[in-house]
């Protein structure tokens, strides 16, 4: 297994150095393995930003293999086996890498008689980690992955900060009102919407508890909703715990 993995890393690095102008030291591995384009046409670029040249444009539902990320851009293998970069905001993750149970999310150590190597995985934000866990659960249940939505993430951030600053835990805010009023005031339009909130010692624990709650699970595995926003914040009123807000909408 290791004899295969090492040449792949070397090949990826050489592609970056020859084909782009950015520093490949920012490259990080991710849990995502495959994705599909979630917009009608998506530009593929040589680097992680709109300032980089476009190498091709791909149609909606085109499948891509994910080999890593730089900031908010996935490094992908294109249908013609070349390498390019696409914005995470315009793709849906459809498959995740398998991680051995009990393995550290940041460092996975592989050992053999001939070679010992450490592979470092860049630490994702708590919100990104939870987003991946939710979509992994959806994939296991043969459901379409939720889209990463910056506007909904901002709405979730506003709500979680409101809970922390005003020392309450509930769906109705003394300042923002219900989640539906909050979304309306922010300017987010939707057909239907819902909200999950949690207060837990870890992202993984919160995710498991919500999956074991019928009401929360119905949002996580909904066939109606297609977008989700997430925000995570350390709870100032409970050491070692996180406040979590998930907002779901049918756009």
- DSSP secondary-structure letter at 47? S
Question: pLDDT tier at 124 (50, 70, 90 boundaries)?
Answer: low
Q: Please state, in angstroms and as integers, the Cα–Cα distance from residue 95 to each residue in 106, 147, 206, following that order.
A: 19, 14, 22
Mean pLDDT is lowest, of 14-18, 123-127, 236-240, for 14-18
In whole angstroms, what is the distance from residue 186 CA to residue 231 CA?
Answer: 16
In whole angstroms, what is the distance from residue 209 CA to residue 220 CA?
Answer: 12
pLDDT (average), residues 207-230: 93
Q: Tell me: pLDDT of 251 over 80.
A: yes
Q: Which helix (H) or strand (E) holds 130?
A: helix 126-140
- For 49-84, what is each residue's pLDDT tens digit? 888 888 888 988 999 988 888 888 888 888 887 778
Structure tokens at 73: 């851009």
Q: Tell me: pLDDT of 172 over 50.
A: yes
- For 140-166, what is each residue's pLDDT tens digit? 898 888 888 889 999 999 999 999 999
In whole numbers, what is the pLDDT of the chain averaged over residues?
78
Most trustworthy range by pLDDT among 42-56, 104-118, 121-135: 42-56
Q: Look up the pTM and report it.
A: 0.55
Q: Which residues pair with 43 in a beta bridge?
A: 57
Mean pLDDT is lowest, of 12-16, 161-165, 167-171, 185-189, for 12-16
Closest listed residue to residue 149, CA positions, set 72, 60, 229, 35:
229
> How many C-beta atoms lie closer than 10 Å to residue 165's C-beta?
11
Closest listed residue to residue 164, CA positions, set 96, 62, 232, 114:
232
> How many C-beta atoms lie closer than 10 Å to residue 199's C-beta?
15
């Amino acid at each position: 297994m290791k004899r295969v993995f090492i040449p792949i890393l070397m090949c990826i690095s050489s592609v970056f150095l020859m084909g782009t102008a950015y520093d490949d030291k920012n490259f990080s591995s991710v849990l995502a393995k495959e994705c599909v384009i979630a917009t009608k046409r998506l530009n593929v670029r040589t680097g992680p930003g709109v300032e980089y040249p476009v190498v091709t444009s791909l149609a909606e539902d085109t499948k891509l293999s994910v080999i890593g990320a730089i900031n908010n851009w996935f490094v992908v293998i294109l249908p013609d086996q070349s390498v390019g970069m696409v914005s995470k905001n315009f793709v849906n993750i459809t498959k995740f890498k398998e991680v051995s149970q009990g393995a550290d999310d940041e460092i996975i150590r592989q050992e053999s008689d001939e070679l010992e190597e450490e592979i470092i995985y860049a630490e994702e934000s708590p919100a990104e980690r939870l987003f991946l866990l939710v979509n992994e659960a959806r994939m296991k249940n043969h459901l379409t992955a939720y889209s990463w939505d910056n506007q909904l993430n901002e709405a979730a951030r506003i709500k979680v900060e409101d809970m922390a600053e005003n020392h309450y835990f509930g769906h109705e805010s003394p300042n923002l009102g219900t989640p539906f009023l909050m979304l309306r005031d922010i300017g987010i339009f939707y057909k239907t919407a819902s909200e999950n909130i949690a207060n837990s010692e870890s992202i993984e624990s919160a995710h498991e508890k919500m999956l074991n709650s019928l009401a929360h699970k119905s949002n996580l595995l909904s066939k109606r909703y297609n977008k989700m926003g997430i925000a995570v914040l350390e709870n100032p009123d409970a050491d070692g715990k996180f406040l979590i807000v998930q907002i779901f909408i049918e756009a």
